[in-house]
Amino acid sequence: MAHKQYQNLIGGQWLPSVSGKTFQNINPADHSDILGTFPSSNAEDVALAVAAAKKAFATWRLVPAPKRAEILYRAGQLLAERKEQFAREMTREMGKVLAETRGDVQEAIDEAYYVAGEGRRLFGQTTPSELANKFAMSVRMPVGVVGMIAPWNFPMAIPSWKLFPALVSGNTCVIKPAEDTPLSTYNLVQTLIDAGVPAGVINIVSGFGPEAGAPLVEHPDVRAISFTGSSAVGSIIGQRASANFKPVSLEMGGKNAMIVMDDANLELALEGALWGAFGTTGQRCTATSRILLHKSIAAEFTQKLVARAAALKVGNGLEEGIEVGPQVNSDQIATSTKYVAIAEAEGAKILTGGKALTEAPYANGTFFAPTVIGSVTPSMRIAREEVFGPVVALIEFNTFEEAIEIANSIDYGLSTSLYSRDVNRAFTAMRDLEAGITYINAPTIGAEVHLPFGGVKQTGNGHREGNGAIDFYTIWKAVYFDYSDTLQRAQIDNAE
C-alpha cells in the first residue's frame, strides 16, 4: 500500500529532502499501521529552511504584534475545530490514550489564546534619564531565526509552547520535530498556515537528531535554540550553542517525587499516584517516578497501589476503556526493561509488572506492564535516574524532614508533590523542595500554560516555557532619546 508522503515546509513550499531520503511514521500500538513517510533531512535541507526563515524575518518582524497575535487566535479556533482528528492521529502516532491526546491538542489551543493575549502586552519600561530633556526606555526586540528541536511525548503541545511565543514576538522559526512524531507538528503548522502565517515564517525539516537537528544548532544564521528532550542530547546542544554564543533553552529530564504524609487523604493520593505514574505511560518529564511514603501508611498504600496498577487496562489508546497506551518505541521498552533489571540487582522488589507485554493482543506493538517497585532506597539507581516509562519506585521515610531530604537528593529538579493536610508542612515543602514546580495535594503532572514551566539543577538551564517564554524569544534594547539639542554626557555632565 502506498503511504501518504509528507514533505518539508521551506519558504511556504512543501518539498522533499534534497537527498530524497525518507522514513516511516509507525503506530506503536500496531506496527502494521503506517501513518506516512516523512523526509529524512540533512544539513542541506536545514540550510534552505534557515535561508527561507531569514528572508521572512525581514517582513514578519515589522508586522504589528497585535496582528501577529490575531493569527494565533485564529489558529486556536481552527485547532478547536480539528481537535478530534488531530487527537486520533496523535494517538496513532505515539500511543497515548485519546483522552490524553485530546488534552495535548487542548494545550496547544490554550497556549494559542494565552499567547495571543501577549500580542498586546509586550511591555517594556520607561524610566527617567539622569540628564535633562532626555527620555529613556526599553523595548523587546525579536531575536531573529529560532531553531526548535522537539520531543515525541507532547507532539503538539510542546511545539506550540515554542512556536507561538516565538511568532508573537516577531521571530521566524525552523522546527525539527521528533522522528517518532512528525505528523502532529505538520498538523499544527498546517493549521497556523491556514490561520494566516505567511510563507517562510515557519519552516519544518523532519528527520533524525544528528543529521537534521545538529546542523540547525550549528547554523550561523540561527540566533537561538529551544530544545526539549534528554539530558544527554541537551548537554551536547547546550555546549554547541554556547560555543557560538547562542541563547539556548533546555528542558530535560526529571525524577519527580510525590511525598505522601501520614495525615494525607490516602484515597486522593492513590488516585494522584496512578495518574502521575502511569499517565502518558509514564513518558512525561514530570511523571511521578518516586513515591515517598510515610512508614505508618506505607504498607496500606503500597498494597492498594499495586492492586490498582495491576488492574490498569493496557492497550491501543484509540479503544474505549484503555487506560495505558504503548511506549513510543522499542528503545523506550529497552530502557524500562533495563531499569527493572538494575533495580532487582540492587535489591529492590518488583511488586507488579516489570516486563514488556509481547503476547496477543500486544504482539504488534511496544507495550510494557505498569510496574511498581518496592523496597527502594534513595541511593539506588532506580531512585535517581530517569526511566521514562510506566515504572514507579516506592521509598519509605520516617519524618517530613527526611522526606524533603530524599526528594532533594537527586540531580534533577523538575516537579515535586506533597500530599498532606498540614498547612505548615505544605508551606515548608513549597519553600524547601528543590524543583521548578511543586504541587500540593495533586500529582507531579498537570502544568497549565500560563505558569512558568521548567526545572532546576540538571533539568534545565534556567529558562522557562509558558509564562517566561517571551523572555527567551525577545531581547531587550535600551533606547535613549535626547531632545535637549545639546551634547549631554552621561556620568559626566550630571556629576556634582
178 binds, among ligand NAI, Mg ion, none (CB under 5 to 8 A by kind): ligand NAI
226 binds, among ligand NAI, Mg ion, none (CB under 5 to 8 A by kind): none
Site for Mg ion in 14-33 (CB under 5 A): 25
User: Which of Mg ion, ligand NAI, none does residue 93 bind (CB under 5 to 8 Å by kind)?
Assistant: Mg ion
Contact partner, 208, from Mg ion, ligand NAI, none, Cβ < 5-8 Å per class: ligand NAI
* CA-angle at 381, arms to 377 and 383, nearest 5°: 50
Q: 110 contacts which partner out of ligand NAI, Mg ion, none, CB within 5 to 8 A by kind?
A: none
Interacting residue with ligand NAI among 15, 47, 236, 312 (CB under 6 A): 236
Q: How many CB atoms lie within 10 A of CB 157?
A: 24
Q: For residue 147, what is its C-alpha cell?
A: 531553531
DSSP code, position 63: S
Spell out a b/e string for 36-45, using b for 16 or more CB atoms within 10 Å of the CB, else e.
bbbbbbbbeb
Applying CB under 6 A, among 252, 309, 372, 403 the residue interacting with ligand NAI is 252
DSSP designation for 2: P
Q: Are 11 and 5 in contact, with CB atoms under 8 Å apart? A: no
Q: Is 230 helix (H, G, I), strand (E, B) or coil?
A: coil
Look-up of cell digits 522533499:
16
Query: Which CB atom, from 152 or from 164, has the smaller least distance to Mg ion?
Result: 152
H/E stretch holding 118 reads helix 98-118
Q: Which of 67, 126, 210, 476 binds ligand NAI (CB under 6 A)?
A: 210
- Residue 285 catalytic? yes
The count of residues interacting with ligand NAI (CB under 6 A) is 28
Q: 200: alpha, beta or left, given left = phi > 0 and alpha = psi -120 to 50?
A: left
Pick from 228, 256, 366, 458 the residue near ligand NAI by CB under 6 A: 228
| Strand partners for 222 | 145
Among positions 272-311, residues that touch ligand NAI (CB under 6 A) are 285
| 42, 68, 91, 93: which one binds Mg ion (CB under 5 A) | 93
- Among 72-80, 179-187, 384-392, 412-420, the segment contacting Mg ion (CB under 5 A): 179-187
Q: Which residue has the cell 531573529?
A: 144
CB atoms within 10 A of CB 317: 27
* List of residues contacting ligand NAI (CB under 6 A): 149-153, 176, 178-179, 208-210, 213-214, 217, 228-230, 233, 236-237, 251-253, 285, 332, 335, 386, 388
